[in-house]
Structure 1
Amino acid sequence: MTAPVDLLYSETEEELRSAVRSLLADRCAPADVLARAETGDPYDAALSRTLGADIGAAGLLVPEKLGGAGAGHREAAVVLEELGRAVAPVPYLTGSVLAVEILLGCDTTAPDTAALLREIAAGRLTCVPAVPLTLAPGAPLPHPVHDTGDGLLTGTVTSVADARAADVLLVLADTGLHAVPAEALTLTPAVPLDLTRPLARVTLDGAPGTRLADAATARAALAGALLSAAGLLASEQLGIAEWCLTETVTHLRARHQFNRPLGSFQALKHRLARLWLDVASARAAARAAADALATGAPDAPLTVAVAQAHCSGVAVRAAEECVQLHGGIGMTWEHPAHLYLKRAKADSLALGTTGHHRGLVADFAELPAP
């Protein structure tokens, strides 16, 4: 008999949420994020270290024997909800989720892999995978990087997220998975839609790398990591939608027209009620995906696909409503609404589009194509 899905937050998860939210309120206010985005270098290294090392969020998915917290996907999902609420410019999804899951899919008893996991869990090292952010679970894995045979790697990978913040990049080559120091690569910044999660083109021209896994193991590890990251991305999208709904309600209560609060107009009440229902259902879908990943449920791929297919659209609609219902100020650079809209739109392409995940749902449910 299948165990029931627990969609509620535990006391430990709520305590973790409180710690992360307090940190972000103090160190990652919308005005601060906007100011950093204007410089073209949004990353806050001090914030990343505090989140990863002091709070211990970097090691949530890392087993205790490797220096981590030995927690799970439910706890990581809570962190991502709060990071989505703040559109925090930290490489958590790519580093503490995607890269960690790839490494855990390799032989963790190998010294090089274990050392990387310990450094990541301690918050001393940022490691991100050199794969396109748009790479989706269930999609064919690319092989743009070639191993020349003497441990040197050559090739180019486009649309790599958070590469500029990384100390080490995990590179999938035709001979397997390699850890490459950031200084051995050439990074060419791309023009991103999301100013808080920059993209770059990674070029390897005879770059030395440490081989962590063979080709078959590396491909299996990356496939599993993409599934986990897509499932947890739904929690980030949930955080975006929750912030947009809360801020919009607050604005409509305070803003008056014809001597009445805007929120008292029936048409706007209906729009907010529909959005609240969307956010509530997105919370259920995101929590179900996190729980399925945490428990290793056999239907985790289906649950993740459902969560992504739903939460992606909810985040975008919530951000669009936030911009529109704020009126003229919502269209200005000074208001942070545009950061949330851009993050929501970028997330809708990350780790698979809504159409891709709907296709996966149809495949899992054995529904024939039209």
Structure 2
Amino acid sequence: MSASTEETREPDLLYTRTEEDLRAAVRSLLADRCDASSVLARVESGTPYEPRLWKSLAADIGAAGLLVPEELGGQGAGHREAAVVLEELGRGVAPVPYLTSAVVATQTLLALPAQDGPVAGLLGDLATGDRVAVLAVPFSVGPFAVGPGAARPAGVRADGPQGAVTGVADATAADVLLVPAADGLYAVETGSGGVAVEPVVPLDLTRPLATVTLARTAGTRLADGASSAAAVRRGLLAGAGLLASEQLGIAEWCLAETVRHTKERHQFNRPIGSFQGLKHRLAHLWLEVVSARAAARNAADTLAADSPDAPLAVAIAKAYCSKAAVHAAEECVQLHGGIGMTWEHPAHLYLKRAKADSLAYGTAGHHRASVAGLVELPAP
């Protein structure tokens, strides 16, 4: 008796030529429109989003539609390609709503039982970047915490979206909110009556958070309660899995920047990178980054193949990459010495993004406990 395709399929962690071409296009765009000085200037102004950057990334390159099938107006690619985009966005700490809209919200809509009517129209708009949608759940909610009654606004009623949700990422940039309510999933226009989006002060200024309050709000019901719970879980699973790729990009930039600095910075007539203690620290960090790449690529690959191993791969990747990104950012700040502590150097942006990402879509502890449950071992 032959094994199924999912059981026999080997993970592919290598990048294809298409993926590398996509990486080159995104990296070139970010180098032109999203260098460190421009990101610092925008976050200091309190308006981190750059509409022209989003249009170029989403529409001109077509990155917003990578997960959307061609028949619905998308690129018909998959999670592997979206993961490459997120690696580059992490490398540039780019302030764009790609993860929340093009991945989480889009995957939630694609997981609904039917992609027709308002769902198809919204997916088409998201694929072209004409609109931004955000799933109205706290940024900290992990996929394994979602079930019946979970990840809904406070005080929901059976007749539609009501209540308040705190810590919603990128809500200030959203045109549409996907609201899990007691009786299903609703699409709510942010400009409609009864919707209030109040920004809160986030740790990571490049990814704003907000409190969303819904009162007597009219929305379009997209699915019933059972279907919406499964779709939300699927959206958050994709978000957590591909967030690991963003964390990989953060770690890669921090390692490369720290190596460059330690080669150029001299003490006692020697580059500080030649000191044995620093060599050991950088070598250890390199090993962590390589392992993080393997974990993140495996998560993206299993999500792309819709493998039954995807939840386990995602939990492992998110738990490992969270720690690796924070460690890389901490080392970047420390090994830059005094300059690493200044506001003018971008190291603090990477540390804040790494710390915020480590809490997003489930903490490392949440995912480690999930790994224990998935492999039927007692949790710590």
Q: Give TM-score, length-normalised by structure 2.
A: 0.95
Match of 1:183 in 2: 191
How far 1:148 sits from its partner (Å)? 5.7
How far 1:108 sits from its partner (Å)? 3.7
CA 1:35–1:304 in 2, change beyond 3 Å: closer, same or farther?
same
Distance 2:156 2:366 in 1: 31
Match of 1:79, SS state, is helix
How far 1:146 sits from its partner (Å)? 5.6
Match of 1:41, SS state, is coil
How far 1:206 sits from its partner (Å)? 1.1
Distance 1:355 1:149 in 2: 33
Greater Cα offset, 316-325 or 37-46: 37-46
Distance 2:144 2:158 in 1: 29
Match of 1:24 in 2: 30
CA 1:318–1:161 in 2, change beyond 3 Å: closer, same or farther?
same
Distance 1:109 1:255 in 2: 56
> Once superposed, which parts of structure 1, at least 4 consecutive aligned residues long, lie more than 4 Å away?
145-151
Distance 1:356 1:224 in 2: 17
How far 1:369 sits from its partner (Å)? 3.4
Matched, 1:82 2:88: yes
Distance 2:228 2:168 in 1: 18
Matched, 1:168 2:176: yes
Match of 1:137 in 2: 143
Match of 1:61 in 2: 67
How far 1:107 sits from its partner (Å)? 3.6
Structure 2: segments with no counterpart, 5+ residues? none
Match of 1:254 in 2: 264
How far 1:135 sits from its partner (Å)? 0.6
Q: CA RMSD in A?
A: 1.2
CA 1:68–1:262 in 2, change beyond 3 Å: closer, same or farther?
same
Amino acid at match of 1:35: A
Q: Counterparts of 1:201-280 in structure 2 under 5 Å?
A: 201-280=211-290
Distance 1:213 1:145 in 2: 19
Greater Cα offset, 303-312 or 100-109: 100-109
Pick from 340, 344, 348 the counterpart of residue 338 of structure 1. 348
Matched, 1:93 2:99: yes
Distance 2:145 2:303 in 1: 19
Match of 2:167 in 1: 159
Pick from 39, 46, 55 the counterpart of residue 45 of structure 2. 39
Match of 2:123, SS state, is helix
Distance 1:346 1:119 in 2: 29
How far 1:228 sits from its partner (Å)? 1.0
Q: Counterparts of 1:297-308 in structure 2 under 5 Å?
A: 297-308=307-318
Structure 1: segments with no counterpart, 5+ residues? none
Matched, 1:128 2:134: yes
CA 1:59–1:321 in 2, change beyond 3 Å: closer, same or farther?
same
Identity %: 66
Amino acid at match of 2:189: P
Greater Cα offset, 235-244 or 101-110: 101-110
Match of 1:341, SS state, is helix
Distance 2:162 2:328 in 1: 42
CA 1:290–1:149 in 2, change beyond 3 Å: closer, same or farther?
closer
Deviation digits for residues 89-130 of structure 1 (CA, Å, limit 9, x no counterpart): 000000000000110111444310000000111111111111
Distance 2:348 2:158 in 1: 47
Match of 2:202, SS state, is coil
Q: Give TM-score, length-normalised by structure 1.
A: 0.98
Amino acid at match of 2:294: A
Match of 2:210 in 1: 200
Pick from 290, 293, 302 the counterpart of residue 300 of structure 2. 290
Query: Is the 1:305–1:358 Cα contact (8 Å) retained in structure 2?
Result: yes
Match of 2:19 in 1: 13
Match of 1:94, SS state, is helix
Match of 1:363 in 2: 373
Distance 1:285 1:369 in 2: 21
Match of 1:310 in 2: 320
Paired residue total: 369
